[in-house]
Amino acid sequence: MSARRNLVVVFSLHFLLHVYIAVRLMPDIGTGRPGLLVLTALLLLATLLLAPVGLMSSSLRRRRWSEQLGWLGLLAMGLFSSFFVLTFLRDLVLLAAWLTGLSIGLGSAGLTHWSAIAVPLLALAVTFIGFVNARRVARVVKVDVPIAGLPEALHGYSIAQVSDIHVGPTIKRPYLEAIVNRVNALGADAIAVTGDLVDGSVQRLAAHTEPLGRLRAPDGVFFVTGNHEYYSGAEEWIAEVRRLGLTVLLNGHVLRWRGGATLMIAGVTDYSAHHFNPAHRSDPTAAIAGAPPEVAVKILLAHQPRSAPAAAGAGFDLQLSGHTHGGQFFPWNLFVPLQQPFVAGLHRTGRLWVYTSRGTGYWGPPKRFGAPSEITLVRLVPG
C-alpha cells in the first residue's frame, strides 16, 4: 500500500511540475509564434507521458518495442529535467530583474517573451549535446598521485580505473566493447572496476557484460560492488564477474610485487551493502587485515567516496572511487556534496589521497552536460 501511495505522490508531483512549466511559459511565448507554441506543448506532453516509462525502464518486460520505449522514456527524463531547471532559473531572473528595476530598462514584456522562447530551445540543445557527450566513448584522464617514500620500483605504477558503466536499458555490448578496447590499449599494470557495472539481472544482461572478460593487465583486473549491484542481484553478479575472470574484492586484498617493493590492492563492498546483506558490510579495516609490514603502498577500491574516513583510519594511501558521476548534468552536481565528501577529481583527507571518477557510462537519461565521462589512468609518482 505504501509503495502505491509513493507512486501516486511521484506521479502527482510530476504532473504538477508540468502544469507549472506550461503556465509559466506558454502564455509568455504568445500566439504570435504558433509553431514554437505547438512545439512546446508537444514536448511537454511527451515528457509528461514518457518520463515515467524512463523511471521503470530497467524493469520493462521484454516485449516488442520495449527497448525503444525505454530509450524514449529516458530521453524524456533528461529533457524534462532541463525544461524544469531552465523554467525555474528563468523565474529567478525575472524576479531579480523586477526587484532591481532592470526589467524596466530592458523592457519587461520583451524580457518575459524572449526568455520564454529561449527555454524550450535551450532545453532541446542541452539534451542533444548531453546525449552526444554520453554516448561517445569515454576520454582517458591521466592522474598522477604523489606518494611519500614511494620505492623506485613502483615509480609510474599505473591502474586503469573504470566506474559506473551501468550496462542496462541503453548501454549494451557495443558500448562496453569500445570501453574495453580503450582500457586495454593503455597497457596499465592493473585494472580496477569500481562498482555500478550494471542495472539489471544477470539473466537479462550477461550477454552484454561478456566483453569484460577481455580486459587484460599484468597484475590483474579487480572489481568491487556498487550500490546498483545490490539492486540487481549482487550474489549473482559477483559469481558472473568471477566467471569472466575478474578478481572480486569483498573486504579483502591482494599483494603485488615490483622488484623488491610490495603493493597492496584492496577492495570493500559498497558503503550501503549491509542494508541488502549484513554479511557484506563495508569494512576497510577488514580489507587491510593481515597485510605484511613491508607493504609500501596500500590502495583501496571503494565505490563511494564516503568510505574515505574509514580508509584513512585503516592506513590506506590511495582510494579509488566513483558513484557520483560528477553530477552527470546540471544541476544535480550541486546536490552531490549533500551525500558525498567529493564530487570528482583528486582530493586529500589526512594522508589519504582519494580520486573520484566521473564515471565511464551514465545512469538513467543518456545525458552528460558539464561532467564528461572518463576512463582514468592513475599513476603513482614520488611525493
Question: What residues contact residue 315 under an 8 Å CB cut-off, 6+ apart?
Answer: 288, 298
Quote the pLDDT of residue 244. 97
What are the residues facing 253 on neighbouring strands?
266
Amino acid present at 193: V
User: What is the spatial distance between Cα 94 and Cα 25, in angstroms, rounded to a whole number?
Assistant: 12
Residue 53 in contact with residue 11, Cβ under 8 Å? Answer: no
User: What is the spatial distance between Cα 145 and Cα 172, in angstroms, rounded to a whole number?
Assistant: 33
Residue 341 in contact with residue 350, Cβ under 8 Å? Answer: no
pLDDT at 378 over 70: yes
Question: What residues contact residue 11 under an 8 Å CB cut-off, 6+ apart?
Answer: 52
pLDDT in tens, 109-121: 678 889 999 999 9
Q: Which residue has the higher pLDDT, 370 or 105?
A: 370
The grid cell for 170 is 541503453
Q: Cα dist. 221→157, 288, 301 in Å? A: 15, 19, 12
Quote the pLDDT of residue 105. 52
Residue 356 in contact with residue 344, Cβ under 8 Å? Answer: yes
pLDDT at 75 over 80: yes
Residue count (the chain): 383
Residue 55 in contact with residue 73, Cβ under 8 Å? Answer: yes
Say what the pTM is. 0.92
pLDDT at 202 over 80: yes
Q: Which residue bears the cell 530521453?
A: 75
**How much of the chain exceeds pLDDT 90, in percent?**
81
DSSP 369: B
DSSP 300: E
Quote the pLDDT of residue 32. 75
pLDDT in tens, 278-294: 999 999 999 999 999 99
Mean pLDDT of 4-18: 87
Residue ranges matching CATH 3.60.21.10 in the chain = 139-382
pLDDT in tens, 89-139: 999 999 988 888 765 555 566 788 899 999 999 999 999 999 999 999 999
Among 31-35, 172-176, 199-203, 362-366, the least confident range: 31-35
Decide yes or no: CATH 3.60.21.10 for domain 139-382: yes
